Chain A
Amino acid sequence: MTQQFAARKSHSSRCKNRLPAVLVAAGTALAPSLAWADETCQSPYMAKITGEEEYVYIWTLGMEGVGDGSDKVVTVDVRSGSPTFGKVVDVDSVGGRHEAHHGGLTDDRRLFWVSGLDDSKIFIFDIASDPANPTLVKTIDDFVEKSGGVVGPHGAYALPGRVLISGLSNTDKTGATGLVEYTNDGQYIATHWMPTAKEPNGAANAEKADGYGYDARVLPRRNVMLSSSFTGWNNYMRPLGEVVNDPEAMKAFGGTMVLWDFHARKPRQVFEVPGVPLEVRWAWGPKSNYAFTSTALTSQIWLVYEDEAQKWHAKSVATIGDPAQLPLPVDISLSADDSTLFVNSFMDGMTRVYDVSDPHAPEQIYEKKIGSQVNMVSQSWDGRRLYYTSSLLANWDKTGDDNEQFLKAYTWDGKELAPRFEIDFLAEELGRPHLMRFGSSALYNY
């Protein structure tokens, strides 16, 4: 097994998403070398694993009456041939429920940042000292104060020596929010507020800017960052059935993406992308100047791309399922060769696979029902192994028998998904699994 660092000139982003559960019922370089094997949707600034992943870390929402009821990081052994292959080998509760959701690894992959959307707490785990046994080393409980009012820390995206945290809300609990930078070990650096019509901060088309945030990812060789938009605390912490039956609440969802001058951290262009554009996935190819996103409420795949005149555009390029049935696309995952896009939709529990060799004309080539509900998908760098988790948000997950909570692992041969193993997170008394990250002991051998 080999592992390697690869500073990649091209790159992409990460994978995740989420949204409703009752929606339907209610109605709404210099880079040197390629590294083979690792999840494909990570920051290009991050060290890459060049062999098979050894562990999958899962940030899991605590669930009342299930185990200790607390949010926790669950470590699963995925080493082929290991006597504990496909088993939970470590559980680290953080105490209490914080609406565990997203997070990410630092650029050196030594630290795993995870956060709570409810109380804005951030937990930093050391995964380098013993990759099979992550250890909580720091808790940040003054994120709102330090950031100047950003609420709902979402992803933690690796920048050189720093993490970039996209917020979802603010102290008014509405959706205008910002991007917040910290050092790898948890020292606050700076806040960059999303542009709004009132405060465009130099962005073109800013009269359309809504200020919402969700994901933010960088294409370094073009010096651009692309951010997307979701909704504020008032919506994401509210039972979904209430939200979708409240016309005013339904107006409070994002419908824009923003292209930034990354070096200067200045917003430069606002795109109208109606229906809540969530995950941002830059293509990896050295000349592939485009990114995909999916829109949760309008069920579309959107392409944000640069034309030959170096102008940037956003357009819908495919429909996901039947939008009238509100399949609710959530996480997407782009293969390392930019040829295949996996799209999960929460409500129908489906994963759909698109041939995106022509990014302007994706074609669906496969679909499979993963469970009664599905949210996140992560794939290995070689595209042969995929992992799925089930939970969206505590108040948006399905109920009763449809509230399946699982990690399911598959192999992918380019034609179909074959089961590898699965873990029932309710039977194991763990909770609602959400974000996944891969780890390997071979990263730390200097």
Chain B
Amino acid sequence: MRRFVLPLGLALAVTVPSLGLAHDPALHPPTKVEGPADDYVYELAAPGSYDLPRIRPAAAARLLDESGAAVELSALFAGRLTILAFMYTRCGDVCPLAALRLADLQRLAAEDAQLSQHLRIVSLSFDPAFDTPAIMAEYGAMMRLPDAAAPPWHFLTAPDRAAIGPVLAAYNQPVARKADPGDAAGPFSHLLRVFLIDSDGVIRNIYSADFLDPRLLMNDLKTLQMEAP
């Protein structure tokens, strides 16, 4: 049976968030996070001080959840803000780092009840041949914050490559097979793409690695919350 093996660096990094069994502000000081925004020239713009234009409707897709049950991606968007990240568990470069950023986002959001209850995080694999629902469940169990106050974090995959191909095209997610499938960093080359989707299912921002900072994501999420209904 194949098992997901967590890279050592990521294994060490996820140890800390995994120890938090319940969110108790008295016991846990506010989360301190690091990220690309530490290197920005300007302070992050305050929530509501900038616009997040409607980019395009987020495409629907028939996927599999961690139990192997069918799930409609667009159904997850309804009524919540969503952070959707494309990834694969065999990735040895940007995916683990992105997962850590999202874990930090989940911790930050857990401290903001008003936001947390309206937020959902989704990680979607484009490597269904390896990333079975069981693998995704194992990966998710290591990454998720076991805190009832935290927003839900789903780890989805597709039945097969034929099913994920149109999803990648619909989201303009570049992925290519490497010439060396045994590459230590994983068999795929890809550009990190993470999507902010509003409760109407419309994409409102698209993040590359340089903008996947939990604090920036929080500001964008709060900016959407501040919009008039």
- Residues of chain A whose beta carbon lies under 8 Å from any beta carbon of chain B: 2-7, 9, 29-33, 45, 47, 106-110, 159-162, 181, 183-184, 187, 189-190, 220-224, 261, 263-266, 268, 306, 310, 312, 442-446
Contact = CB atoms under 8 A, between A and B. Distances in A.
A264 B209 contact: no
B40 A222 contact: yes
A223 B40 contact: yes
Contact of A264 (B45, B171, B178): B45
Contacts of B80: none
Interface residues of B, number: 47
Contacts of B56: 161, 183, 187
A106 B172 contact: yes
7 contacts: A2-B178, A108-B173, A161-B172, A187-B56, A264-B50, A310-B41, A446-B161
Chain A interface main SS type: loop
Contacts of A264: 45, 49-50
Query: Counting chain A CB atoms within 10 Å of each CB, which of B53, B189, B207 scores highest?
Result: B189
A7 B208 contact: yes
Given A5-B191, A33-B93, A222 B172 contact: no
A224 B41 contact: yes
Contact of B174 (A109, A183, A189, A261): A109
Contacts of B55: 161-162, 183, 189
Interface in B183-208: 185, 188-193, 203, 206-208
Contacts of B39: 221-222
Contact of A29 (B42, B97, B189): B97
A445 B174 CA distance: 10
Contacts of A261: 41-42, 45
B51 A7 contact: no
Contacts of B49: 264
A160 B53 contact: no
B86 to A, nearest CB: 12
Contacts of A190: 51, 53
B177 interface: yes
A133 B48 CA distance: 46
A29 B206 contact: no
B193 A30 contact: no
Interface stretch (B23-31, B102-110, B136-144, B210-218): B210-218
Nearest to B91: A32
A446 B162 CA distance: 10
What 7 A-B pairs come out closest when comparing CB atoms?
A: A30-B209, A32-B93, A220-B210, A29-B209, A264-B45, A264-B50, A223-B40
A403 to B, nearest CB: 40
Given A31-B94, A32-B185, A45 B208 contact: yes
B10 interface: no
A43 B61 CA distance: 29
B37 interface: yes
A108 B172 contact: yes
Contacts of B93: 30, 32-33
Nearest to A182: B55
A222 B56 CA distance: 27
Contact of B189 (A5, A30, A181, A223): A5
A31 B50 contact: no
Contact of A446 (B44, B51, B177): B177
A30 B51 contact: no
A6 B41 CA distance: 24
A266 B192 CA distance: 24
Given A29-B94, A30-B192, A221-B210, A189 B172 contact: no
A343 B96 CA distance: 41
